Amino acid sequence: MTRRALTGSLAALAIATTALTGLASGAYAQTSLRMAVPDPAGSSVGRAATRFAELVSEKTDGEVAIEVFPDGVLFGGDQNAAVNQLGSGALDGLILASSVYASFEPKMNAISLPYLFADYDQLQAYLGGEPGDELLASLDRFGIHGLGFFLRTFRDVTTRDTAITTAEDFQGVTLRTPNNPLFVALFEALGANPTPMAFSEVYSALQLGAIDGQENPVEVPYNNKFSEVQGQLNITQHLADSFLVALSGNAWDSIPEEHREAVQQAADEMIAEHDAEEIAAEQDIIAKLQDEGMQVNHFADGKLERVQEIARSIYPEFEDQIGAEFMQKSLDFVNQ
């Protein structure tokens, strides 16, 4: 039995009414919690949080309520601080990228090993199966109760002028990356110039030419109008990321036991819905960016294999951080 299945029968999350939906039932809920998300209410993660709150309210008959706070307002926009606040109980709930959690639990880097997953089916099976359950369990020692992961679409590179169709095209390109050693190591290996930078600074840095490009799931350049300052959308699909739905241990314990299974079911249902929507929307977003003037580039025939070879060469650098046993478990999972 996986941890999620076990958790689904023993525990779950508290929520019903959201600041986004304005459900009045929250005032009468037996348990009311506040959930923070980093992005706007209308973003992918904002919509996921709202749907989760709706499902929890439905499945607990309004006895568990969640109020969703978008735009990072509950943690001042500092995502590392948000994880600390969740562990201490200062935040009740949080939806945040698994790559941020990697600063606290290096095992999380396994999700983002470059070119680990062949497709979304494999990524979903990993996040929803035994490897994902082990990652959720690893947060217990921080006072964080993980409910599950929902996927983000694979990350792609945008650039101002450079079309990336071979490994050599990365040479000398200055790319903004998150402040995560794995991302930096990947692009250094490819010959690019990775530049960690707060996301709030990216648009202006692109506009001023301080950086040549950035990398993110395609939703990010679309929602942030990067087509105004970037001409090339390079479908590199170089690594995966996910969002982790979690509660503080204190918040989890505050949920009456009779509602926990329903809350876990709400998380699982939201994740399934969200994953299907994200995957379906990816090609539509690419088409919209193309309509906005971006040129869409793919690796030339036979060139992806060389990029994958270079990218996977960094795996040994992270074996000690991730843990040799869990890294091997991850590799065995995708190769089975």
What are the tens digits of pLDDT across the range 162-180?
A: 999 999 999 999 999 988 8
* Whole-number Å distance between alpha carbons of 16 and 35: 11
- Helices (H), ranges, 102-248: 120-128, 130-137, 181-189, 202-208, 219-223
- Pair (178, 265) in one structural domain: no
DSSP 47-116: HHHHHHHHHHHHHTTTSEEEEEE-TTTTTTT-HHHHHHHHHHTSSSEEEEEHHHHTTT-GGGGGGGSTT-
Burial class (CB in 10 A: 0-12, 13-18, 19+), 134: middle
DSSP code, position 166: S
CA atoms within 13 A on the CB side of 80: 8
For tokens 């819905």, the residue is 273
Which pLDDT belongs to residue 27?
52
Give the structural domain span for 182. Answer: 156-239+283-335
Q: Supply the CATH number for residue 248's domain.
A: 3.40.190.170
Instruction: Kindly report, residue by residue over 107-142, the tens digit of the pLDDT.
Output: 999 999 999 999 999 999 999 999 999 999 999 999
| Beta-bridge partners for 94 | 36, 246
- Pair (26, 144) in one structural domain: yes
Task: Residue 240: name the closest of 278, 268, 291, 280 by CA.
Answer: 278
- Pair (164, 79) in one structural domain: no
* Whole-number Å distance between alpha carbons of 328 and 320: 12
In Å, what is the CA distance from 135 to each residue of 3, 30, 146, 312? 10, 30, 9, 21
Q: Contact, 278 vs 220, CB < 8 A?
A: no
- Pair (225, 323) in one structural domain: yes
- Pair (322, 209) in one structural domain: yes
Which pLDDT belongs to residue 43?
87
- Pair (136, 271) in one structural domain: yes
Compute φ and ψ for 296, nearest 5 degrees: -100, 125
- Pair (228, 250) in one structural domain: no
Question: Within a 10 A sphere around the Cβ of 63, how many other Cβ atoms?
Answer: 21
* Composition of the chain by helix, strand, coil, percent to 5: 50, 15, 35
- Pair (229, 117) in one structural domain: no
Report pTM: 0.87
- Pair (161, 138) in one structural domain: no
How big is the CA angle at 95 (ends 52 and 3), to the nearest 5 degrees?
A: 80
The domain total for the chain is 2
Which pLDDT belongs to residue 2?
55
- Pair (112, 160) in one structural domain: no
Which pLDDT belongs to residue 77?
86
- Pair (88, 131) in one structural domain: yes
Q: Contact, 68 vs 53, CB < 8 A?
A: yes
Which pLDDT belongs to residue 266?
98
- Pair (114, 195) in one structural domain: no
Which pLDDT belongs to residue 306?
98
Rounded to a whole number of angstroms, the distance between the first and last alpha carbons of the chain is: 19
Which pLDDT belongs to residue 293?
98
Q: Contact, 37 vs 58, CB < 8 A?
A: no
Which pLDDT belongs to residue 40?
87
Which pLDDT belongs to residue 23?
41
Please list the ranges in the chain whose pLDDT falls under 50. 7-26
